[in-house]
Structures are given as structure tokens and as C-alpha cells.
Structure 1
């Protein structure tokens, strides 16, 4: 049995998480494992020994929206952490034996920053052991602050072809064994696969899409997305 909670419960203190884990063990004695979502900064206060204790009580699946490991973009978006923090905190999960999945937000850096974001992120991922890399493409809705920045001209969205180049670069530079999930509705070219086995086929898909689809057509697809 895998019980995954929403929101960000890993923000709870170690002691409160231990209380939750003990209650789960008491009332769900046949539970195999449980998991939750977390920010990079939620891991920071917890020691490796504490993480090992949580793992012993069946915490064995954490989903982390790192978004990117490109420091200028992390700074621009006020994420509260940098590439070094991603590497340091997720390495603690590796040491504790806790499995984790990461989310990469394609296009977050805005126009002109896609390839740099992909390179920086691949360099960090290559030093870690995520089970799954989930790829989602930034889609800006009118009610968001970022939409106002687009209107004001203080943020320029990354063009769709550049986003495809960004995803291609990320995947091309990864040299770890990992599963890719990029079939989210926000991705104009959905992909799934396992690296390294499927890398060549996935890269061919991007190469075909980059030459086949005009920017206008891809942009029209994104404009029709009204929720994620």
C-alpha cells in the first residue's frame, strides 16, 4: 500500500513527522510505504540520521519540485534555494535510502535561458539518484503575478521551439539511470521513457518536432490550455 499525501507535509518538523509515521504504523499495520510532497528547503532542518529514522518507519517516496538548478532563474523566481542546496539536500535523501522524484519546470528561465537552465540542472541531477524526473512546461495564466510581469515587459516567455531545445538538452546531458515522465498536458511534445535505454529515440522525437512544427502552431496549443 502506498499512501501519498498532497500539499507539502514534509514541511512539518521531524518530531511531528515521526508522530504521523507512528500513527500510520499503528492504524495501518500492513502499509508498505507512504510518501508526500516536499520543497528542497523542507529537507534542510532534518539530519541524515533523522531521515533514516523516518525511512525506517516506511517513509519512502518524496516528490520535490526543484524546478531548475539554474541559479539566476532560482534567484529571479525567489525560490529560496540554489543549485548547491538541491545537491546537498537531495544527497541526504540518497544517504538515508529514501526514494524521491523531482519536477523540472521547462521554460521557467524565460527567453534566452533555456539551454543554460537545462545544462545546469543536468549537471546537478547527474550527481544524484532520482527515481523519476517529471517534466512540466511553464504555462502562465492571467491570475498569476508572472502574467502581469509579461504584460509589463519585465518577463519574456521562452518561445516554444526554445523550450523543445531546452528539454532536448536536459535529456541529452543526463548520464544517470532514471525514468522520464514528460507526458503532461503542458508539454507540446509529450515523452516518456527510461534512460539511458530510450535516450536516442527521445532525442529523435525532439529533433523531428523542432524541424516540423512552427512556433505559431505550438504557441496556439499552449494558448488553449485553460488549466493544469
Structure 2
């Protein structure tokens, strides 16, 4: 018998490696962690309470303790013009870690959120859909670790799954074909039809 959990990066910080090893001994088998991105300006903008260095430090402790973990990447979080830098920063951090799965979901702003008000105020500009596809492509292209990808969430206009490094070339081709084929308006219309996640 084992158990898993969801956690924030900041939840790991108070635990020493010895304490984490003890949790592993007590059958803590896996942790799902929403890192969102490793792009510090975006983490600050979203008041996440941690930076890329914290992601690296805390998840390295899980590696040392022998606890498996999966991470969630929130595509599009940086807003217009920040997709590539977010992808590069995140890949650079993840390449120094050992996640089992990278789950990719795409930011969808709903009217009840504070971010929706920021969109209305013009203080936050959503990342265009084509830029989001390019962001995901950049993230995957720059990853050089052995990891499983789960990007088949409803929020993703181009769903993908696979295992790196073996499936990388095929996944990149999917993105290239989608970027060439789908107009921004069609992809945006898809997102506008999402009423819940």
C-alpha cells in the first residue's frame, strides 16, 4: 500500500531530506506539484511565492529522498510575449531534475477570476494561441531528460502525449503542422467554448 498527494513547491520547503525519506519509508509514493513555470517574472506577477531556484532546490530534495513526482506546467501563464522565455526557463530547470511526468495544461481565464479583471483592465494581455503552441514546442524541444509528457487536457488546442526522448521528433512535427494549419481565430474560438475545466 502506498499513497500520493498534491503539493505546492512551498509545501516541500519546511521538510528536510531526512524527513522526506521518512515519508517515503511510510509509503509516500508520489507527489503532484504545480510548478506552473520557472520564469521568475511570471511567478512574481502571479504571486506564487517561489522562484525557479526554489523549484530546483525543493524538487532536488525529492530526488534525493527517492520520492517520485510529477509536475504541472501552465502554458500561456506569462501572457503575450512571454511564451518562449517561460518555456526556456522551465526546460532549463527541469533538465536538472527527474520528474516522472510533465503535465501540460493551458491557461484559460474565466470571468470569476481576478486575472479576468486584469484582462479587462488591460494590465494582463493573454498569450495568443499560436504563441502558446510555439511555447509548448520550445519547452519540449529543449527538454533533454527521460520523461513522460501528458498534454491531452481539454485546455490544450493541440493535445499531445508521449515519452521523451523517443517521441520528441513526432511531437515537434505535430506542433509544426498545427502552427502552419490552424489560424489564430479558430484556436481562440475553441478556447472560448471551454466553460469549465
TM-score by length of 2: 1.00
Gaps of 5+ in 1: 1-30
Q: Show the counterpart of 1:220.
A: 189
4+ residue segments displaced more than 4 Å: none
How far apart, CA to CA, are the structure 2 residues paired with 1:140 and 1:61?
A: 29
Q: Show the counterpart of 1:23.
A: none
Paired residue secondary structure (2:154): coil
Paired residue secondary structure (1:66): strand
How many residues are matched? Answer: 197
TM-score by length of 1: 0.86
- Offset, 1:158: 0.1
Deviations 1:198-226 (A, max 9, x none): 00000000000000000000000000000
Tell me whether 1:199 sits opposite 2:168 in the alignment: yes
Q: Show the counterpart of 2:9.
A: 40
Q: Show the counterpart of 2:46.
A: 77
Deviations 1:70-101 (A, max 9, x none): 00000100000000000000000000000000
How far apart, CA to CA, are the structure 1 residues paired with 2:32 and 2:11?
A: 12
Q: Show the counterpart of 2:116.
A: 147
How far apart, CA to CA, are the structure 2 residues paired with 1:157 and 1:49?
A: 42
Tell me whether 1:120 sits opposite 2:56 in the alignment: no
Deviations 1:130-170 (A, max 9, x none): 00000000000000000000000000000000000000000
Deviations 1:53-85 (A, max 9, x none): 000010011000000000000010000000000
Q: Show the counterpart of 2:73.
A: 104
Q: Show the counterpart of 1:5.
A: none
Gaps of 5+ in 2: none
Tell me whether 1:65 sits opposite 2:8 in the alignment: no
Larger Rg, first or second structure (1 or 2)? 1
Paired residue secondary structure (2:103): strand
- Offset, 1:115: 0.2
How far apart, CA to CA, are the structure 1 residues paired with 2:13 and 2:122?
A: 35
